[in-house]
Amino acid sequence: MEQEKWSAIIVLTCAGRTAAEIMKGTKLPRSTVFRVLKAFKEEGKMQRKDHKQK
């Protein structure tokens, strides 16, 4: 997922939006929204894990 999408989810959460509102507004799947929120809340991650380029 792009960094912008991660940032949008986190910013919207900090602004008081619910997961349902974020899913509707960003058109991202439920699993994606909750995965990003879990990583942010548990580990403070603001971005996706880097992967090696092939």
Residue 51 lies in a domain: no
Q: Which of 35, 24, 25 is nearest to 1 (CA)?
A: 35
Could you tell me which of 36, 1, 4 has the C-alpha nearest to residue 19?
36
- Domain membership of residue 11 (yes or no) is yes
Q: Which tokens sit at 50?
A: 């880097």
What pLDDT shows up at residue 2? 79
Joined together, the tokens standing for residue 53 give 């380029």
Number of domains in the chain: 1
Q: Is the per-residue pLDDT at 1 higher than 80? A: no
The answer to whether the pTM exceeds 0.95 is no
- Give the three-class secondary structure for 51: coil
Domain with 7, as residue range(s), is 3-43
In a domain, residue 52? The reply is: no
Average pLDDT score over residue span 2-29: 93
Q: Using CA atoms, how far apart are residues 52 and 54, in angstroms rounded to an integer?
A: 6
